[in-house]
Amino acid sequence: GAVVSQHPSWVICKSGTSVKIECRSLDFQATTMFWYRQFPKQSLMLMATSNEGSKATYEQGVEKDKFLINHASLTLSTLTVTSAHPEDSSFYICSASGGRDYNEQFFGPGTRLTVL
Amino acid sequence: GQNIDQPTEMTATEGAIVQINCTYQTSGFNGLFWYQQHAGEAPTFLSYNVLDGLEEKGRFSSFLSRSKGYSYLLLKELQMKDSASYLCAALDSNYQLIWGAGTKLIIKP
């Protein structure tokens, strides 16, 4: 089946630093990758959609200068949280589509970010 | 606007059957997904329905009625490991997933 990995699985950083999260599709080419954020006891919130080789499309209310997304290849997308603050602490999940079923999204295991 | 409604929490007994309902209102419709999410983990795919009717997959079944904007996930022979949140998500005309808030299912012995 389609496998998506994320790295790191958890990260703790100081306020003001930047954190990069990688999302990789291991056994298929992901034409589209999605980045979600999930706060405790809440549902997934889509942050942005990225297609390989083009700029990401950000959801309303998501600062594109703060959450930098790069989808440089069909197997890798990165999310960089710049100048992180405690309120950015959350569970960040990526998903990828482009596998056997166009409509299906395959999720990475998520990255738990804690900003001190 | 676009909206997905599902119960916040449900409780069921090990070995029993539970049905989790979901109603949706979206701009266009290209199918409905159910995902399972254990605490602290990413969602895992359970089912996808785009045509009316029931899709059965082992202990889990999913039903869709497009005319009613309604779906349900049916879990049979409940096991303790089924304790999780179940997320309903509809694919709109732009192939964007609209997510429900999830239903937390608690299984009691």
Distances (CA, A) of B45 to B30, B37, B38: 16, 9, 12
Question: What are the pLDDT digits (tens) for A34-90?
Answer: 999 988 878 788 899 988 878 899 999 999 999 999 988 889 999 999 999 999 999
Mean pLDDT is highest, among A108-112, B39-43, B69-73, for B69-73
- Cα gap A78→A65, rounded to integer Å: 14
- Cα gap A35→A64, rounded to integer Å: 12
Task: For B57, list phi and psi in degrees, rounded to 5.
Answer: -145, 90
Q: Which residues of B touch A108 (CB under 8 A)?
A: 42
| Residue A103 pLDDT | 64
Question: What are the pLDDT digits (tens) for B10-51?
Answer: 999 999 999 999 999 999 998 999 999 998 888 888 998 999
B48 contacts A43? CB cut-off 8 A: no
78-97 in B: which are within 8 Å (CB) of A?
Answer: 87, 91, 95-97
Find, among A35, A75, A37, the residue nearest to A57 by Cα: A35
> In this complex, which of A42, A43, A110 lies closest to B41 when CB atoms are compared?
A110
